[in-house]
């Protein structure tokens, strides 16, 4: 089986590569639809499922599709990717000195009319240091926050904003790789170790 990553995310590519996976990238070309009526974990799984469905419909019989989506939630409010620098500032100000939860939904799908499909999600709690307005502005000036849920990347310059994390670090980056590896191994897709 060939592993297809249904994501353009450089972070997800990096995580898979570092775990020793061979894969091809085929991003989902679609508009996502977040369902606020669902519990957050199920909503993020549904987003990953939408991406997987988009790509698996054109997949070959020997391909397996891996899709993921990540959202940030603070006090029940979903923080997606910022629409502007002002939006990024507001998000980061709301996270400063507080905790929030990062959810990543993952979907693994096989092609065909009766193709199997599995979804799961992972949640990690992240705590930010208190941040000055100047620190937030300097971070935004790097450009890093603009394409990330919650307006930060823990693996980049944003690492200095984070006081602590409870849960899977790679989940916060965008793919809970240890859990994903266990699902992929059920289909004979192996990285270097698992």
Greatest distance between any 2 Cα atoms in the chain = 54
Alpha-carbon radius of gyration of the chain: 17
Mean pLDDT for 132-153 is 97
Residue 190 belongs to some domain of the structure: no
Q: Can you give the CATH number for the domain in which 146 is found?
A: 3.90.950.10
Mean per-residue pLDDT over the chain, rounded: 96
Please tell me the distance from the alpha carbon of residue 131 to that of residue 95, in angstroms, as a whole number.
9
| For residue 113, pLDDT beyond 90 | no
- pTM score, two decimals? 0.94
69 is catalytic: yes
From 41, 62, 69, 134, active-site residue = 69
User: E strands of the chain, at which residues?
Assistant: 2-5, 24-25, 63-74, 77-79, 99-109, 117-128, 162-166
In a domain, 192, yes or no: no
Q: Which domain holds residue 170?
A: 2-185
Please give the angle made by the CA atoms of 157, 144 and 165, to the nearest 5 degrees.
50
Asked if the structure places residue 69 within a domain, the reply is: yes
Give the mean pLDDT of 9-31: 96
Number of separate domains in the chain: 1
Q: How far apart are CA 91 and CA 142, in angstroms?
A: 16
């Amino acid at each position: 089986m060939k592993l297809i990553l249904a994501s353009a995310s450089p972070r997800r590519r990096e995580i898979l590569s570092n775990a020793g996976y061979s894969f091809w990238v085929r991003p989902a070309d679609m508009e996502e639809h977040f369902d606020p009526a669902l519990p957050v974990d199920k909503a993020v799984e549904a987003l990953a499922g939408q991406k997987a469905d988009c790509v698996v419909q054109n997949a070959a019989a020997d391909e397996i599709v891996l899709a993921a989506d990540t959202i940030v939630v603070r006090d029940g409010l979903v923080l997606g990717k910022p629409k502007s620098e002002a939006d990024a500032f507001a998000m980061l100000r709301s996270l400063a000195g507080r905790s929030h939860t990062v959810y990543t939904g993952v979907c693994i799908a096989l092609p065909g009319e009766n193709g199997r499909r599995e979804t799961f999600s992972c949640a990690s709690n992240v705590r930010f240091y208190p941040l000055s307005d100047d620190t937030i502005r300097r971070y935004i000036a790097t450009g890093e926050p603009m394409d990330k849920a919650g307006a930060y990347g823990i693996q980049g310059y944003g690492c200095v904003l984070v006081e602590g994390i409870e849960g899977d670090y790679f989940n916060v980056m965008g793919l809970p790789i240890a859990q994903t590896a266990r699902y992929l191994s059920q289909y004979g897709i192996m990285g270097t170790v698992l």
